[in-house]
Amino acid sequence: MVSMVTRDSDQWYQCDKCEMLFDNEADAKTHEEHCEGDEEPSYLQ
Ligand SMILES: [Zn+2]
């Protein structure tokens, strides 16, 4: 899920899974669809 947050008087969109910030909502939602969140990165296996 994507949350709106305010940082330094600017509006950002934050991925709830990994807390990455985006400056537009479309990018945030696209990211979130593919986000692995805080699961273990598969490349470590
Ligand atoms: Zn994410």
Overall domain count for the chain: 1
pLDDT beyond 80 at 13? yes
- In a domain, residue 41? The reply is no
Q: Which domain holds residue 10?
A: 2-36
- In a domain, residue 21? The reply is yes
Q: What average pLDDT does the segment 23-36 reach? A: 95
Ion ligand 1 — residues with CB < 5 Å: 15, 17-18, 20, 35
- In a domain, residue 25? The reply is yes
Name the 3-class secondary structure at 18.
coil
pLDDT beyond 60 at 18? yes
Question: Tokens 């699961």 map to which residue?
Answer: 39
42 — pLDDT class (breaks 50, 70, 90): low
For residue 16, the CA-to-ligand 1 centroid distance in Å is 7
Buried b / exposed e along 23-44 (16+ C-beta atoms within 10 A): eeeeebeebbeebeeeeeeeee
37 — pLDDT class (breaks 50, 70, 90): confident
For residue 9, the CA-to-ligand 1 centroid distance in Å is 22
**Threshold 0.95, pTM exceeds:** no
